Structure 1
Amino acid sequence: VTSIDNQRQSVLGVASDDELTSLIKFQHAYNAAARYINVIDQMLEHIVTRI
């Protein structure tokens, strides 16, 4: 099975483990950015309601 997977990866030119690792990194970065935007949104909402 490992030999078949290695042959498939060599034909495709993409290692699925590497792609999955990259996908997880991008997902974590996206989640962090979404949390950051949410905090900024809450801060702005708080400022606007104070005015």
Structure 2
Amino acid sequence: QNYRESIVGVSSDEELADIEKFQNAYAAAARLVGVADEMFQSLINMLG
């Protein structure tokens, strides 16, 4: 593993940690979009 990292120049553990961060950020953004959609739908229903 260390030999591979020295050749490639990337730590697999760091890459895995970054992927987990990106997954969490994506999930949070998806929840935010869902909440915004519900808010707009409620507003449209109140006005319509």
TM-score relative to the length of structure 1? 0.89
> What is the Cα-based RMSD across aligned positions, in Å?
0.4
Alignment correspondent of 2:5: 9
Q: CA deviation at 1:23?
A: 0.4
Runs of 4+ in 1 over 4 A off after TM superposition: none
Structure 1 gaps, min length 5 = none
Structure 2 gaps, min length 5 = none
Alignment correspondent of 2:23: 27
TM-score relative to the length of structure 2? 0.94
